[in-house]
Structure 1
Amino acid sequence: MNVKAIVLSGIIFISTTAMIAQENNAEKIVQANLDAYNAHDIELFMSFFSDDIAMHNFKDSKQTASGINEVRAIYEPYFKASPNLHSKILKRTVFDKKVIDHEYITGASGSSDPFEIVLIYEVEDTKIVKMTAIRKRN
């Protein structure tokens, strides 16, 4: 193997390792956010979102919240009204900087009726920058 091939192999290895680490980082951030959600810890939960977080509805591409303050305004009363709130991951896919979770939610807003939702999280560096919700049709 010549020197150019060795250097090229090293560059490919480093690039691949960095890409895998970035994917794992996205998954770790989303998992920590979910753990805070299940602990009903609003401060820790919010700490994983970027200041300019955008929340969207997949069905119509409508933006449902823009910015950290609007997201807090949704989740703070939701946590208070949901003492038994819990999300269980049914399936998780990690692709690049995106984490796609199929979740089973119980205890939302004091309800005994569970529901399923798919959330697509987009992560940049150490923060969730976009969250898109896919809900079942009624």
Structure 2
Amino acid sequence: MTPIPKRALSRYVFRKFLYLIPIIGALVWFFRPWGYLSFLLVPLAIFWAYMQYRDAGWSIEGNLLLLSSRFFSKQTLIMQRSRIQSITYKKSWFQNRKELATITASIKSGITSRVGMVADVEEKDCLIIKSWYSPKKAVDSQ
């Protein structure tokens, strides 16, 4: 599996702190002095962000695309090329500065669609995945 680049780790940690700072602030403000114990959430958030970073990645083997990510538990989605409905990638302004992007692939699974997503993938890797999925043009032999 191709892991995401090391420069993406800071983005994973930053996203955790965006949610954590208001929670800690509210607990400290309303439950002083016991609210200061909420600072113990910081190492837990850093560990959680590291686990998400470590488990994120992608792989192409023949006709299979593998996308792996984690929220609480690790999810690995293995998709056959002929079953994939769409592959898209997008990048925010912050991702563009670090040449990263978020890749998303969806497949039909029963009545609904199943979507696999990996955040902060190398932008050139997204282009590799898109070119793997795009239909191959027949070469005319004359």
Is TM more than 0.5 here? no
Normalising by structure 1, we get a TM-score of 0.29
Normalising by structure 2, we get a TM-score of 0.28
More helix by percentage: 2
Return the structure number with greater relative CO, CA threshold 8 A, min gap 6.
1
